[in-house]
Amino acid sequence: MRNRIERLFEYIAKEKKNIDCVLVSRSTFPDINFFYFSDASGGLFDGSFLLLYPDGSSKLFTSTMEQEAAEKSKGDFEIYVFSSRDERIKLLEEHIKGNNLGLSFSSITYFEVEKLKETYKGNLVDITKEINFTRAIKDRKEIENIKKASEITSKTFGEVPDMLSDGLTEKELSFKIEFQLRKNGAEALSYDTIAAFGANSSLPHYESSDCTLKNGDFVLLDFAGRYNKYCSDMTRTFFYRKANQEQKKIYETVLEAQMLGIDELKPGAIAKDIHNSVSKYIDDTEFKGRFIHSLGHGIGLETHDTLGLSPISDYMIEENMVFTIEPGIYIPEFGGVRIEDTLVVKKGKPEILTTFTKDLLII
């Protein structure tokens, strides 16, 4: 993906780093950057690696097992095939250029670096930040994939009301949802489904249990499908049969907070300011202190992709970044509400990709 590699080297130049070549390895630690820079598909490519050069060119090195997948990928890389560990090391030695090798220190193991140092004697330079910023701005193809994953997810949310019944367990509901996601075209899940009933909804990363559905329960659902490796991320909170005044008030406060966050997500905004303004909004209500996580995160090849929307996110929002906005209010032993959408930053208002209604639904 020449344009992605060129953008990476632009970031590297901006940071005044001197890099002759970048190594992206899917060796002992499966580095997702491999798929970002190669756009290879049809294989797992364990043990494979990429070398990226400042002119935008790249070389893909893979085992005989993945040779066919690499050739079918129609990438703009040259392909080299190894059939043994020794050959792999020899190819690395031959094709790494120069004395300054860029690596994503956050994506490579200590073990692998030690191995690399046995043959490579130049400088190893961390380019985690530059890779993160390159990946944060999505190109058209990436946005199309995230959009499709979001469409599948929204459609499945629309099918949830028909799945709810007295005595249904969280695990059973998760299974029904996952079946529908696949049926609607998801190739996999973006992450493990969260289905939390009643007071269980006060735990943001709850794991579904055998707890059964009862009248008046919160039904917090956080799930999404994956499409062409790209993720979506979406949460809705429904009420089963009835909702009391307290539940409605929590819901309305979260919805207002979410709309505020969406309004502020625009090019030029500082990421942490958006988090802080939503957090302040909730803290000015009776639910002070009950918003207990960050406002959102980037999304792409990973559900928690590069860059976040948290109190320490000190960078500027740019067009075509894709984020979630997901405030919540969590009351221990009572329950919680979270509303989450996946959005693309646009010049004016962001485009909301997860379109299922956010009206308070009593099912």
48 versus 190: smaller Cβ distance to Mn ion:
190
Q: How far is the CB of 159 from Mn ion (least distance, A)?
A: 21
- Cβ atoms of 149 and 175 within 8 Å: the answer is no
Distance in Å, CB of 304 to Mn ion, minimum: 7
- Asked if residue 247 lies in contact with residue 335, where contact means CB atoms within 8 angstroms, the answer is yes
- Which of 282, 277, 275, 283 shows the shortest CA–CA distance to 254? 282
Nearer to Mn ion, 38 or 324 (CB): 324
By CB under 5 A, which span of 12-20, 176-184, 192-200, 230-238 interacts with Mn ion?
A: 230-238
H helix and E strand count, the chain: 10, 19
Could you tell me which stretch among 91-99, 169-177, 248-256, 319-327 binds Mn ion (CB under 5 A)? 319-327
Minimum distance, C-beta of residue 327 to Mn ion, in the bound complex (Å): 11
Q: Count interface residues toward Mn ion (CB under 5 A).
A: 2
- CA nearest 155: which of 321, 18, 332, 353? 353
* Shorter beta-carbon distance to Mn ion: residue 95 or 304: 304
C-alpha 79/C-alpha 27 separation (Å) is: 17
Least distance from Mn ion to the Cβ atom of residue 271, Å: 15
Give the nearest distance from C-beta 126 to Mn ion in angstroms. 27
User: In Å, what is the CA distance from 165 to each residue of 59, 134, 162, 320?
Assistant: 54, 46, 8, 40
Helix axes 85-95, 110-119, angle to 10 degrees: 70
Pick 117 or 205: Cβ nearer Mn ion: 205
Q: Which is nearer to Mn ion, 145 or 324 (CB)?
A: 324
Tell me how far apart the alpha carbons of residues 206 and 7 are, in angstroms, rounded to a whole number: 38
Which range of residues in 42-50, 59-67, 189-197, 318-326 is near Mn ion by CB under 5 A? 318-326
Give yes or no for residue 310 binding Mn ion (CB under 5 A): no
Least separation in angstroms between CB 319 and Mn ion: 21
- Compare residues 73 and 156 and give the one whose CB is closer to Mn ion: 156
Minimum CB distance to Mn ion, residue 218 (Å): 18
Q: Looking at 35-43, 99-107, 227-235, 350-358, which segment touches Mn ion (CB under 5 A)?
A: 227-235
Burial (CB < 10 A; 0-12, 13-18, 19+), residue 361, is middle
Residue type, 54: P
* In the complex, least distance from residue 190 CB atom to Mn ion, rounded to whole angstroms: 9
User: Pairing between strand 225-227 and 188-189?
Assistant: antiparallel
67: left (phi over 0), alpha (psi -120 to 50) or beta: alpha
Which DSSP symbol is given to 310? Answer: S
Taking CB under 5 A as the criterion, the residue among 324, 335, 337, 358 binding Mn ion is 324
Closest distance to Mn ion from the beta carbon of 191 (Å): 8
Nearest residue to Mn ion, by Cβ distance, number only: 233
The least CB distance from residue 10 to Mn ion, in Å, is 29
Tell me which of 112, 217, 233, 264 binds Mn ion, using CB under 5 A: 233
Reading the block at residue 58, the tokens are 């790249």
| Contact call for residues 120 and 93 (beta carbons, < 8 A) | yes
Closer to Mn ion at the Cβ: 26 or 236? Answer: 236
Judged by beta carbon, residue 47 or residue 327, the one nearer Mn ion is: 327
- Span from 43-51, 138-146, 205-213, 317-325 in contact with Mn ion (CB under 5 A): 317-325
Residues 19-78 that bind Mn ion (CB under 5 A): none
Task: Return the number of the residue (31 or 305) whose C-beta is nearest Mn ion.
Answer: 305
Dihedral, 278, 282, 285, 290 alpha carbons, nearest 10: -170
What sign results for the dihedral spanned by CA atoms 268, 309, 235, 282?
A: negative
d(CA 313, CA 53): 30
Torsion of CA 248, 250, 256, 262, to 10 degrees: -120
Residues that bind Mn ion (CB under 5 A): 233, 324
